[in-house]
Structure 1
Amino acid sequence: MVRSFTAQERATAASLRVSWILAKKKRPFTDSETVKDCMLAVVDEVINDDKIKTSVVSALKNVPLSDTSNIRRVEILAADVYETLLGGLVKADTMSIAVDESTDKTDTAQLCIYVRFFDSKCFREELLCLLPLEGHTTGDIVFGKISAFFKDNGLDMTRVCMLVTDGAPSMTGKVNGLAARWSAVAPQLISLHCIVHQVVLCAKLSGTLKTIMDNVMATINFIRSTSSLQHRLFRMLLSEMSAEHHDLLLHNDVRWLSKGKALERFCGLREEIITFLRNSKQKKAETHLSRILDDNFMADACFLSDIFKHLNDLNLALQGRDKTVIDLVEQMRAFPVKLDLFATDLSTGRMLHFPTLRKCISSPAQITDVMTEFIARLKMNFAARLDGLVLPTEMAVFVRDPFTVAIEGDLSARAKQLVPSIDEGKFALELVDMRSSVTMAQELCTNGPTVFRTNVNVHQFPNVKKVAIVMLSMFGSTYTLCDRQPHRTQESTTDPHPHSAQTEEEAEHPAPNHLTPPPSGPLFVNKIHPLGNSPVPTRRVLHPATLVENAGRTVKKTPTTPSHGVFPQLDWFGGAPPPTMEEILKHLTEVSIRQQQIMEHLASRQGETKTGARRAPYGCRRTYSAA
């Protein structure tokens, strides 16, 4: 028998649905009241029947959409999503952790931890927690914070197969670093320095080219930062000359892509910059003008613009969601081959891969040894970084295409070394059975390695699937989830890409922190976690971003099996369908009981004399619409 819902229950369900949509769109809590006003305005315009209009307007007015109601709804969904994540991690046989530490604007170090694991259906990448570090950030302290978090939430540190860090001494120290301390607990743990970070380290400038880059930035800063008037006059000149771009871009070392973008814009606006400097009355303008008129200087600048364009393309290819360490290693191995092509391209004078340099110089004789030496040094740096990778090539080939990998070699030994729990002999036999299947080879070609591995029968190929799951669960970078970072608005200087280039609308001095979002602005990071050190979070916050500030400070609870939640397939940012009304009301009933128990507990602690009194936190309404 289907139970009919009361008007109050339907209003509560509608309120939760609105909160779900606003949270997914990263909107402030106060926008719920604006949504209600918009719905009332739409109904007033599109419905002509007065009787129907009165009924609909009355129903809409009964929907609780105040900012405090929206806060409670988001907290309900956030707690459920977090419990679902913990439940999936408890069941996962293996997981990969990406750790990065950064400092927010209050000088508090924030330890950001992402996790990638297989939940028996698909691979998931989630923000696990954000742990504040009040004092020192040594390897011992970081390890203690993480181990305490794992223990409080019933997670097993020995199941972590890979730890990816930013390469800081506190993370990679051989004795007291985080990787060393974690390896003592989980001997099979593989530690990896973020591959994207290694690419940036490979491309560090020195000598003549560093001087060229510094001079380019000196000219850009002279035009943009000497005075506001000078900057405005330059932009007016670009508009009058119908230039391709409207302004120069600044470079910041924290924004890895900005170097290439700033050089590209500088070379593209060379003629406009020359005109502006000639008309300038400042003495320093003559120095910058003589420098930009030097053909050798501009040839080096154009070369840097082209080579950093290729490095930026590699950087972007390494970042993004659902990219395993195998994908990143393949990109890294391909780039040295491209460097050989670039060197040949320069030596022959064709410059097919250097379009900016080709437009700047008049003859191949202007190609200097500095350019070729830089490419040679780049290749050496990449080779050294690739030699330091601990992932065997045979295992990467096995995951990509098990039908072409050589079984006769030491593949099974490599697999045993990676996953000690497998049976080495059965692994080889299972691989032979898999290679004899024609349908499975077709499935691999159709679905790709990740989907193919998730659909492999675990009962028929247990050892092969276990090894593949471990390999596909590995992170390759601490920036693999940057697509989920908050989007930028006109009021915010936060990049949608943590190391993207600066745009014309951004402020002149971007904030270096890319992990912790600011406590204001329309931000909402990934999954929201339970807040605070008390059982009930404060109700005075009016913005979803505030929920993230204490994301790592989870509520201590008794050691019970985490709930799977009523929204196991709910992905707030993946466009999944919203929960049904039956699921919403069932969950609201359970949450209402939990809230009442928490309120009674708080009332008893604060000296309440009346048993069972429900005392609303400061700033909250005393009426609870959750049935």
Structure 2
Amino acid sequence: MFRACTDQERATAASLRVAWILGKNKRPFTDAETVKECMLASIEEVVADEKIRKSVIDSIKNIPISDTSTSRRVETLASDVFEILLDKLRKAEVMSLAIDESTDSSDVAQLCLYVRFFDGECFREDLLGLIPLDGHTTGEVMFHKVVSFFKEHKLGLDRINMLVTDGAPAMSGRTQGLSARLADVAPQLRSLHCLIHQSLLCAKLSGKMLHFPTLRTAGLQITEVMTGFMDALKTNFAARFEHFSLPTEVMRFVKDPFSVNVEGEFALKAKELIVTLNEASLQLELIDIQSSDDLRQSFQLAGSEKFWTHEVSHEKFPHSRGLALFVLTMFGSTYTCESAFSHMNAIKTNNRASLTDQHLHHCMRIAMTTYTPDFPALAKSKKCHFSH
């Protein structure tokens, strides 16, 4: 009885690993049966001993990797790594979100949520969720979807420090946009129009006026059209950064805490960023950091990010480290969402157009997650069925 149970668990663990590999490579569930055929054919050729060959073939035949079984395994694996992510997120002090929307091959609008946070060891960027949008894709609809998602998974909106979007009206509208609505429930949230999108927009707006620097050397007259264009461009960029600013002193502090003037406005500017920050405590911590030869040497060897994550003690420097992690957690663009949509299009092709939203979400999570499931533990926790 014990031996049969062990064989069953091993067969299930093997099926989980096959499903994981297929998911990582964005392959259809039906490919699992092809994998099984390949394994059996390979064993027939490479194992010379007949008894061993028969034993291995019997074990492989008992691996449940039909398309239906693989679909269930994918769901199990995706749920497991999602729980790992949620557990880490609930312990994180702050998180940054990149949100974008695109349609899949079935013309279903999908809202992609990507998260960046410090998990105690390193900064993680992972797929938080893929939310289908039925009907209108307004800022109001997106807001309620995001709020419901956070509430369902017991995540705090008040810990979001940055929201990066593509700058579309539904995302960045002044009153009804997603950014504006989230700012009402997340006091420390700052919004940013993706820097990559802004660069592309600038190039697009420039059009035929890319040669401004050469106009004067060519002796050409600067016209009202040209100056009007520059004024409009300046106004456009000012509006896009209207609700986003990071004090120079704070950025300098994160980059190199030993270059900051303790007696300057650093602590005051830091409090503008994090209203709960204690200015006096932050100044005292900075003095201690700058007075430490060991920390100075660690900074020179480790670099900025590793210095704050591994060299500076949270117990001794809670305000300084908290401020640094707050800034380092911030996204600068929605490139992760763009990458997610590329994965989405590779998974839900025209040949797999019937893939459900739930299965699409599971497949994308496996393909993009930075976490790895515990295969043996999952095999022991599930009821296993041999394939026939």
Quote the residue 1:467 is aligned against. Answer: 323
Q: CA deviation at 1:193?
A: 1.5
Q: CA deviation at 1:521?
A: 6.8
Quote the residue 2:89 is aligned against. Answer: 89
Q: CA deviation at 1:206?
A: 6.0
Quote the residue 1:385 is aligned against. Answer: 237
The residue identity in structure 1 corresponding to 2:349 is S
The residue identity in structure 1 corresponding to 2:385 is Y
Quote the residue 2:176 is aligned against. Answer: 176
For residues 103-502 of structure 1, what are the structure 2 equivalents within 5 Å? 103-205=103-205, 209=208, 343=213, 381=233, 385=237, 388=242, 389-455=244-310, 456-480=312-336, 482-483=338-339, 486=342
Instruction: Work out which structure has the larger RCO, using CA pairs closer than 8 Å and 6 or more positions apart in sequence.
Output: 2
Specify whether residues 586 and 108 from structure 1 end up closer, same or farther in structure 2 by C-alpha distance, changes over 3 A only.
closer
SS at the partner of 1:408? coil
Q: Does 1:520 align with 2:349?
A: yes
**Contact 1:101–1:109 (CA<8 Å) still a contact in 2?**
yes
The residue identity in structure 1 corresponding to 2:54 is T
As a proportion of its length, which structure holds more helix? Answer: 2
SS at the partner of 1:9? helix
**Contact 2:16–2:73 (CA<8 Å) still a contact in 1?**
yes
The residue identity in structure 1 corresponding to 2:317 is F
**Contact 2:23–2:366 (CA<8 Å) still a contact in 1?**
no
Give per-residue Cα distances to partners, 1:272-324, cap 9 Å, x unaligned: xxxxxxxxxxxxxxxxxxxxxxxxxxxxxxxx7xx9xxxxxxxxxxxxxxxxx
Q: CA deviation at 1:145?
A: 1.6
Q: CA deviation at 1:451?
A: 2.0
Give per-residue Cα distances to partners, 1:12-66, cap 9 Å, x unaligned: 1111122222212222211211111111222222222222222222222222221
Specify whether residues 89 and 401 from structure 1 end up closer, same or farther in structure 2 by C-alpha distance, changes over 3 A only.
same
Gaps of 5+ in 2: none
Give per-residue Cα distances to partners, 1:534-553, cap 9 Å, x unaligned: xxxxxx97x7997226999x
Gaps of 5+ in 1: 211-303, 308-341, 349-364, 488-514, 524-539, 553-569, 593-622
CA distance in 1, matches of 2:160, 2:67: 40
SS at the partner of 1:204? helix
Matched-pair identity in %: 47
Specify whether residues 547 and 460 from structure 1 end up closer, same or farther in structure 2 by C-alpha distance, changes over 3 A only.
same
Quote the residue 2:23 is aligned against. Answer: 23
Give per-residue Cα distances to partners, 1:175-226, cap 9 Å, x unaligned: 222222222222222121221111122222467x28xxxxxxxxxxxxxxxx
CA distance in 1, matches of 2:115, 2:264: 33
CA distance in 2, matches of 1:134, 1:574: 26
CA distance in 2, matches of 1:428, 1:48: 73
CA distance in 1, matches of 2:31, 2:149: 34
TM-score by length of 1: 0.54
Q: CA deviation at 1:406?
A: 2.1
Quote the residue 1:624 is aligned against. Answer: 385
Quote the residue 2:74 is aligned against. Answer: 74
Mark the structure with the bigger radius of gyration: 1
Specify whether residues 398 and 480 from structure 1 end up closer, same or farther in structure 2 by C-alpha distance, changes over 3 A only.
farther
Quote the residue 1:616 is aligned against. Answer: none
Q: Does 1:584 align with 2:345?
A: no
TM-score by length of 2: 0.83
Query: After alignment, is 383-392 or 439-448 more displaced?
Result: 383-392
CA distance in 1, matches of 2:316, 2:168: 43
Give per-residue Cα distances to partners, 1:440-482, cap 9 Å, x unaligned: 2333333332222111210011000111111011111112454
